[in-house]
Structure 1
């Protein structure tokens, strides 16, 4: 328990940066929905095209960042016989050259990619998605450079700056959406002009480029000489490929899930792709602000402990990470389950958006709320294997979870359709992540001897009780106010009531993690 304030202190700056990043990310989502219209064919085409470079990047490289690059750079920094700057330059060069080839190939293959991912699109939607996709593909290179630069900064103890970088991306895209509205853009695909298409295409990719530039400047200020090497050899490429191979397999399985779920959503009705995508984006917000902050801060520490074979310290860091993440995410999950439709109505029912689509997004988000805590715990535990240099075991676990999502989702198509199918797909993910969390915990206990299981179970049981009581309190307030009160009033009153009940229950149940978290926040506020 004595180390908890230190972990909280380490994560405060990262949490603040991530929070601002995600808030501006929400503003970006709201701006795009207001401009392109939630539930429209135009937003569906834009969304399908814009997630494609992310998907390909994750398949080619994304998973290797957390599992390979950060631990590898930490170990290299500790090896005095290796020139750390030269190693990082060659690593960055390898990423640039490799992803440049990927960009060229995917631009050419854009029609095939769109046809594979969204077969339910009309011909006009398909053609527009192809245009958007070709403009968006350079983002793959920008994402790869950003991730490598962020890994270099993290290995040097600079955690907060990489989390501020997406703010630049969000601001550029917000400006793009506002300009689109200012020049008369609407949510009707048939009214889209070439100038508006070019604005959306170039503006969106420019945002990702701005994020990369921020990280490049931060790297220079941190003392990293940004320079591409003509010959990127000398960084043990075969070893990196071997370590990343299993990760690529797990990411490939995840992308198969993404493609299948997108295909299913595209056939659930007009606007269904953007509804499902925006619900998932909202679900990821609390995970990113809280769990990713903890993961980013603790992974280098775990990597150093693993290098020293200090398994007790790894167990201590893991236990603290899971408990601190849980105490913060449990009430958020309760809020998503109870207030999901009101939240999305307040956020998205503006401009060209459809009120029905906004409400449906909240229903999908409520189903995703069930997945929040097990998903975060599952992801944190996987990072222990990466710190130990084992990419095979987490890959096999991830493939199992992906298979579970596919099996349950395909089964869901037999009993649900239309809007109900979108809710069912989110519920299927919750079931699969709960399975993954349980399996990972058992395997990890065998690997490192203990994971502080009794302490974790006792703490999370009390958190779940407090969260359930808080959720009931929030639901009671929302029911008492009724729909006529308006979404903003309902959310404000219900959230305040739920937070108060959770704080009271946490104190009555003696949840020490809640006390540590609030004490650290009070110290921060006083400073």
Structure 2
């Protein structure tokens, strides 16, 4: 059945995506500037020391859990939440949100407990070549970071619901609390607490984000109260998609674990070189890929609810092309300026010229992925809006195999820079796969999807 909602003027989808992407980019730029300043502070205080590498190993799993659990829930929730709000009203949407938030919290807490119990078994797998004191510190730091998993996961859930209300700028700005807290904590407490200052600040910053987002939700008519309303049709729909998206996230996260585990097999400092270089590329990926992805997700879902396939077709073409053009220029500039950028930003205190050389080589290889990653996010969000998370899962399996094979091939001759190049190469396969299937599953104009009838 075609939605009875009022039609949307031709071209207005693209204008709305542009407005939302602009708002997200502006807010994310502020957050990334704060995060970059935080990296300067961390690099000056800790360089590529054992303490920092222990923290980076400990922080890997919390970050992955947040992405796996909360981001998977968010990606499964948005299409159904948009449909329920459009067809059944705000109160039904509130019930679906409350139920998903309860599930999200339960899974976050349970996963954190399981990880706490098994930390001494899986962290040695991630950091297999760490010395015993370095490994023990990583385990203790991991325990300290566990509350941040729950807080950050809840904040992420709040943000995506605000996006469905057309609120993009402030949710994108909220994560600034963590880097600001770290920049305050390091000069004040690192002398006594050492690397633990980063841990305490991370937990406090993530809690501030929850409070901030919760107040925004209330102002936009949603109650930030977890509650179960039974296994309704919409809840079953979210659960079905969540399972597949979660599996896809597990596969994608496996690639990150593989990269850092293999980097740990290389000479000391390789893990931190990979992470430092990834931070620079992450700025471009978040500002460009994150902006378009966050803006497109609820709007693609709305287009699908309305069976507006011409709007989907137009937006896919415009945003994938625009993303490729803009990000190619950004990637080229980052590659040309890699050594200068690392030297100017990180070469202070314990971070020396040799460190600059190592990180800049990795940065050049990592930067190659930018156009392919950002453009692929447009197709990724469209497939999730179409509730084809199965295709995303198959893509992830292919990429995990490619990641392992390419790492083994390239790290022998290029060291840690080879691991970065492997990442860029499998990102190309992601782009090709998602692009092909997005056009393949796109219905003809006037056609309604069977699973959207109702």
> 1:337 maps to what in 2?
335
Alignment of 1:125-524 (within 5 A): 125-181=134-190, 185=191, 195-196=193-194, 198-229=196-227, 231=228, 233-234=230-231, 236-413=234-411, 415-416=412-413, 420-448=414-442
1:441-482 per-residue CA deviation (whole Å, 9 max, x = no partner) reads 2222222269xxxxxxxxxxxxxxxxxxxxxxxxxxxxxxxx
CA contact (8 A) 2:276 2:359 kept: yes
Q: Please point out which of 121, 142, 154 is paired with 1:112.
A: 121
Quote the RMSD (CA, aligned, Å): 2.0
1:80 pairs with 2:88: yes
- Cα distance in 1 for partners of 2:424, 2:225 equals 44
1:29 pairs with 2:26: no
Q: Would the alpha carbon gap of residues 250 and 74 (structure 1) be closer, same or farther in structure 2, given more than 3 Å must change? A: same
Unaligned regions of 5+ residues in structure 2, if any?
Answer: 1-9, 445-454
Cα displacement (A) at 1:16: 0.7
> 1:16 maps to what in 2?
26
| Bigger Rg, which one | 1
- Cα distance in 1 for partners of 2:359, 2:127 equals 19
Q: Would the alpha carbon gap of residues 324 and 110 (structure 1) be closer, same or farther in structure 2, given more than 3 Å must change? A: same
Q: Would the alpha carbon gap of residues 392 and 274 (structure 1) be closer, same or farther in structure 2, given more than 3 Å must change? A: same
- Cα distance in 2 for partners of 1:276, 1:11 equals 29
How many pairs align? 432
- Cα distance in 2 for partners of 1:35, 1:10 equals 37
Q: Would the alpha carbon gap of residues 202 and 77 (structure 1) be closer, same or farther in structure 2, given more than 3 Å must change? A: same
> 1:520 maps to what in 2?
none
Alignment of 1:49-128 (within 5 A): 49-66=58-75, 68-80=76-88, 83-128=92-137
Cα displacement (A) at 1:7: 3.9
Cα displacement (A) at 1:348: 0.5
CA contact (8 A) 2:277 2:362 kept: yes
- Cα distance in 2 for partners of 1:234, 1:246 equals 18
Give TM-score, length-normalised by structure 2. Answer: 0.90
CA contact (8 A) 1:94 1:232 kept: no
CA contact (8 A) 2:296 2:381 kept: no
Unaligned regions of 5+ residues in structure 1, if any?
Answer: 186-192, 451-527
Cα displacement (A) at 1:197: 5.1
- Cα distance in 1 for partners of 2:151, 2:338 equals 33
> 2:3 maps to what in 1?
none
Cα displacement (A) at 1:301: 1.6
Q: Secondary structure at the match of 2:349?
A: coil
Q: Secondary structure at the match of 1:79?
A: helix
1:15-46 per-residue CA deviation (whole Å, 9 max, x = no partner) reads 11011011111111111111111x21111111
- Cα distance in 1 for partners of 2:231, 2:15 equals 41
Q: Secondary structure at the match of 1:179?
A: helix
- Cα distance in 2 for partners of 1:358, 1:209 equals 34
- Cα distance in 2 for partners of 1:362, 1:437 equals 25
1:481-519 per-residue CA deviation (whole Å, 9 max, x = no partner) reads xxxxxxxxxxxxxxxxxxxxxxxxxxxxxxxxxxxxxxx
- Cα distance in 2 for partners of 1:449, 1:389 equals 13
Cα displacement (A) at 1:237: 4.3
Cα displacement (A) at 1:198: 4.4
**Which region of structure 1 is more displaced relative to structure 2, 204-213 or 147-156?**
204-213
Cα displacement (A) at 1:302: 1.2
- Cα distance in 1 for partners of 2:321, 2:417 equals 29
CA contact (8 A) 1:276 1:361 kept: yes
Cα displacement (A) at 1:5: 5.5
Q: Which has the higher contact order (CA 8 A, sep 6+)?
A: 2
CA contact (8 A) 1:121 1:266 kept: yes
Q: Would the alpha carbon gap of residues 98 and 396 (structure 1) be closer, same or farther in structure 2, given more than 3 Å must change? A: same
- Cα distance in 1 for partners of 2:149, 2:129 equals 25
Cα displacement (A) at 1:276: 0.2
Q: Secondary structure at the match of 1:154?
A: helix
- Cα distance in 2 for partners of 1:249, 1:132 equals 27
CA contact (8 A) 1:146 1:212 kept: yes
Q: Secondary structure at the match of 1:351?
A: coil
CA contact (8 A) 1:40 1:270 kept: no
1:45 pairs with 2:54: yes
1:364-422 per-residue CA deviation (whole Å, 9 max, x = no partner) reads 11111111101111222111111111111121112212221121112224x32xxx311
Cα displacement (A) at 1:232: 5.3
- Cα distance in 2 for partners of 1:25, 1:338 equals 22
CA contact (8 A) 1:333 1:369 kept: yes
Cα displacement (A) at 1:316: 0.7
